[in-house]
Amino acid sequence: MKLSVVIPVMNEVENIKPLFAALASSLAGIDHEIVLVDDGSTDGTVAEIEANAPSNLQLVVLNKNYGQTTAMAAGIDHAKGDLIATLDGDLQNDPSDIPMMMRYLFDNDLDVVAGRRAGRQDGMILRKIPSKIANALIRTLTDVHIRDYGCTLKVFKKDVAKNLGLYGELHRFIPVLVQLYGAKMAEVDVRHHARQFGKSKYGIGRTFKVMSDLLFMVFFQKYSQKPMHLFGTLGFFSLFIGLALNLYLLFLKILGEKIGGRPLLSLGIIMTFIGIQLITTGFIAEFIMRTYYESQNKKPYIIKKIIGKQ
């Protein structure tokens, strides 16, 4: 099979028929399957899908709402195509962009093509401005230069999509995961439409989740295989400051000065203990990292291909 289109949906009952019509029109002539993942809908979405299901549909119904990342991971796990496209179920992404993205991927020998929403049809205050700030911050901290991290429309080669390791709320950081995998990626302009039915599942409150996930992604990107480099460096820095302060106060004590009520004494003791804790955390993180790889016979690298006799 050439293409699998993975679409997570939740409470999108009014969008199902137009979605099927748009997919059939846009992907006519392309051997493809549709993998719909229902993420705990409560509004009759599943019944609507079953009533209008085309012959190439595979429906995965989750037992409760897990979030878009988990739903997307479930769809990718069940996809059989050589290429995998991810798409929102609210019709704001346009399926007619998928053939263009497939051609772009093949013509430029890429592993992933990410969509960049041109003329984005969302609210300025609650959606566009927070998104621009978040995109700029992610680019700066991860050094992955994608302009639109929030666009779900992407086309992947199968091996890349199935090895992304999507957990929690990391679908926003797929470009960073792609870079960690070592895949070649580019971004192209795609169409974006205003939502016609239903309501958005995202609000300004997701900003704090994005910030939390960003901290994890920066750590994972830079220190997942060498956590001691982070915790050890911070720990020794804190320990050095703590010991230096304590030695300074000890010298004053020898000279006969009173040091019991000095704030520097408390700061020196606290910095010393923080340093010891950070170094200890680094040791524990190193053991966890080694256990993660060795217990599952995982390798800390991915081979693209091997040339020559085995």
98 token code pair: 């998928």
Place 170 in a pLDDT band, splitting at 50, 70 and 90.
confident
184 token code pair: 């070649």
Place 105 in a pLDDT band, splitting at 50, 70 and 90.
very high
Residue 229 one-letter amino acid? H
- Distance, in Å, from the CA atom of 99 to the CA atom of 29, rounded to the nearest integer, reads 10
3-state secondary structure of 116: strand
88 token code pair: 């929102």
What sign results for the dihedral spanned by CA atoms 11, 16, 22, 24? positive
Residues 259-307: tens digit of each pLDDT: 888 889 999 999 999 999 999 999 998 888 888 777 777 776 666 666 6
Closest Cα partner for 117 from 145, 142, 97?
97
122: number of Cβ within 10 Å: 16
Q: Is the pLDDT of residue 61 over 70?
A: yes
Q: Give Cα 18 distance to the centre of its chain.
A: 28
Residue 82 one-letter amino acid? D
- Distance, in Å, from the CA atom of 298 to the CA atom of 176, rounded to the nearest integer, reads 21
Q: Is the pLDDT of residue 203 over 70?
A: no
29 Ramachandran zone, left/alpha/beta (phi>0; psi -120 to 50): left
